[in-house]
Structure 1
Amino acid sequence: MKRVFLEAAFFLALPLLVWSYGRPVLGDYSAILLSGLPGFCYGLYVLLKDRRFTFTGVFLLATLLIPRFLDLLSDSPEWLLRNNIYTDAALGLFFFLSIAVKRPAAMLFSVDVAATMGYPVQSSLRLFRHPEAYRWFLLLTFLTGLRAFVKAGIRALLISRFGIEGYGVYLSALSLGSWLSYGIILAAYGYIFRKHIYPLAERLEKEDYFSR
């Protein structure tokens, strides 16, 4: 619960404060650029604190650094907002490509999570690549990629409708939408693991699948 409040503060409350009070002094461009700084610093702190330099860690680091790099290359507040459309679309493409190369990102994320719980990486990979488990990781990866494309579309719609003047509405709507969609995807992970992956692991363990 504490982490939820911290994320709400760094990704919504503080950016809105920076935008509201910084805009009259700094202008649109600088206010939007600085409004992303609290979330970036918090995300980087969590990543370095947890030392998650695995596939998941590198992925999270890239999603923090690449958008900020593109922001610095932007020369107008409109492009600052539009950059997020392209990064979301690229993220969706990344997930779909991971399916195409038979390395679904959801499976690799799950391997990293299992490793933090003490499960050997190779055993997790063997379990997750089992046909009865693999199909669920394809579905989870597809849903995550679809979420990114939908988010890009919503960004484009909000920008075209509200423009720079509605940045506060834009930020609030996207933050709330992101948390809601993440909650749905995490619930899907929990359901699939509880109903399908864990029972499969128990059955395969009895069959000495992991010792072959």
Structure 2
Amino acid sequence: MAKRQRTGKKLILLDLLFYAIFPLFIWNFGRELLGDYAAMLISTIPGIAYTIYRYLLEKQFNIAGLFIIGTLALGTTVNLLSGSAEQMLWNGVYLGLFYVVVHFVALIFKRPFALYFAVDFAYLQGYARKDSTTLFFQKGIFKWFQFIQVIFIIRGLFMAGLQAFLLQKYGVDGYNEMLIYRQIAGWFFGILIMGMFFYTKVPVQSFFDKQRNIPT
């Protein structure tokens, strides 16, 4: 338990370092020398490099991993094609709304990404993907992954709305606030989503108990 807490604190510090502190440092000290657009582009490099490192370290060569790399590749491409710092920020809003639509379509067609992410996690613990997928689609369990998918949608709308609000209020000069507020919001939704993922163990265990005719 203590080791898990230390690991969690270490990850929080690394997230803060690569997603907030390094980008803020590059943005604030580089914009005068490089210009707003170049400084903003370069400020995204620490987060991209750190995300790829975590991806390779955790060996997530699966749907979750492909989703992470796919969003990174798309986001980087959009940033490079933006042409200006302000357009890059607005494109970030539009891209966020695009992901909301993708998550919504997955929800409507009852193929929540949350379920497949959970299958990947179960696989890392030694469970066959086919068995986990069959189990997670059971009625009493599946609804929880739909709930998590709804949280993904709410998170996407909130993050896009927050960035649009700050951009309208402060313009490009509000990039500092965007980095800080988005990181705080990201932590909030991350904790909420992880809590719901952990809660899915309750209906999963209940399912196994019923299979073994054990009173719950």
Q: Secondary structure at the match of 1:119?
A: coil
Stretches (4+) displaced over 3 A: none
Q: Give the counterpart of 2:154 among 123, 146, 149.
A: 146
TM-score between both structures, scaled by the size of structure 1: 0.92
Q: Give the counterpart of 1:68 among 66, 70, 76.
A: 76
Q: Retained in 2: the 8 A contact 1:67–1:83?
A: no
Q: Give the counterpart of 2:209 among 181, 186, 202.
A: 202
Per the alignment, residue 138 of structure 2 pairs with 130
Measured against aligned partners, the alpha-carbon deviations of 1:144-191 in whole angstroms (never above 9, x if no partner) come to: 112111211111111001111121111111111111111112112222
TM-score between both structures, scaled by the size of structure 2: 0.90
Question: What is the identity percentage for the equivalent residue pairs of Structure 1 and Structure 2?
Answer: 30
In structure 2, C-alpha distance between the alignment counterparts of 1:4 and 1:149, rounded to whole Å: 24
Q: Retained in 2: the 8 A contact 1:94–1:145?
A: no
Per the alignment, residue 3 of structure 2 pairs with none
Gaps of 5+ in 2: 1-8
Q: Give the counterpart of 1:177 among 185, 191, 203.
A: 185
Q: Secondary structure at the match of 1:163?
A: helix
Q: Secondary structure at the match of 2:110?
A: coil
In structure 2, C-alpha distance between the alignment counterparts of 1:93 and 1:75, rounded to whole Å: 25
Tell me, yes or no, if structure 1 residue 46 matches structure 2 residue 59. Answer: no
Q: Map 1:76-115 to 2 at 5 A.
A: 76-115=84-123
Tell me, yes or no, if structure 1 residue 11 matches structure 2 residue 58. Answer: no
TM-fit CA distance, 1:197: 2.3
User: What is the aligned length?
Assistant: 205
In structure 1, C-alpha distance between the alignment counterparts of 2:66 and 2:167, rounded to whole Å: 30
In structure 2, C-alpha distance between the alignment counterparts of 1:164 and 1:14, rounded to whole Å: 18
Q: Secondary structure at the match of 1:53?
A: coil
TM-fit CA distance, 1:132: 0.7
TM-fit CA distance, 1:49: 2.6
In structure 2, C-alpha distance between the alignment counterparts of 1:91 and 1:202, rounded to whole Å: 37
Q: Retained in 2: the 8 A contact 1:106–1:140?
A: yes
2:177 counterpart letter in structure 1: V
Per the alignment, residue 6 of structure 2 pairs with none
Gaps of 5+ in 1: 208-212
